[in-house]
């Protein structure tokens, strides 16, 4: 890949970010990519399959973008911060008292006996 190709791809990724920032909300990938391709002078962006595939791949590989489901893409820095950490601090309460520890111990003892017999 030459410097011109690298620069073009970098600028396309930047343009994707810029469109999302201008809109201020998540967009369907087709709409987002069409906006960038229109800015680059494509008359009918949906017909340029290679360009659409290239931009979609860039969105998947660039950590600034986040897939929100149903074809919608946004910027990662829009998502709530700290949600993952708050979930990590929650305690888990096993109300069903299924005896999983006893089942594990029984399997471990069985395995140990079989291993010792060999």
Q: Which domains does the chain have, with CATH numbers?
A: 3-78 (1.10.10.1250)
Query: pLDDT value at position 85?
Result: 46
- CA dist 118 and 108 (Å) reads 16
Q: What would the mean pLDDT of 71-75 be, rounded to a whole number?
A: 94
| pLDDT > 90 fraction of the chain, expressed in percent and rounded | 45
Report field, pTM of the whole predicted structure over 0.75? no
Helix ranges (H only) for 27-99 are: 29-39, 49-61, 83-88
Q: What would the mean pLDDT of 19-28 be, rounded to a whole number?
A: 94
3-state SS, residue 24: coil
Residue 62: which pLDDT band, with cuts at 50, 70 and 90? very high
Q: Is the confidence at residue 82, as pLDDT, over 60?
A: no
* Dihedral pair phi/psi, residue 93, rounded to 5°: -115, 115
Query: pLDDT value at position 106?
Result: 73
Q: Quick one: DSSP state of residue 17?
A: H
């Amino acid at each position: 890949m030459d410097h011109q190709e690298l620069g073009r791809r970098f600028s396309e990724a930047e343009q994707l970010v810029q469109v999302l920032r201008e809109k201020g909300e998540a967009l369907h990938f087709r709409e987002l990519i069409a906006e960038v391709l229109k800015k680059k002078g494509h008359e009918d962006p949906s017909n340029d399959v290679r360009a659409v595939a290239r931009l979609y791949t860039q969105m998947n590989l660039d950590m600034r973008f986040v897939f929100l489901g149903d074809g919608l893409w946004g910027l990662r820095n829009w998502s709530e911060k700290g949600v993952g950490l708050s979930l990590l601090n929650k305690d888990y309460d096993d109300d069903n008292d299924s005896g999983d520890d006893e089942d594990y111990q029984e399997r471990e003892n069985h395995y140990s006996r079989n291993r010792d017999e060999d």
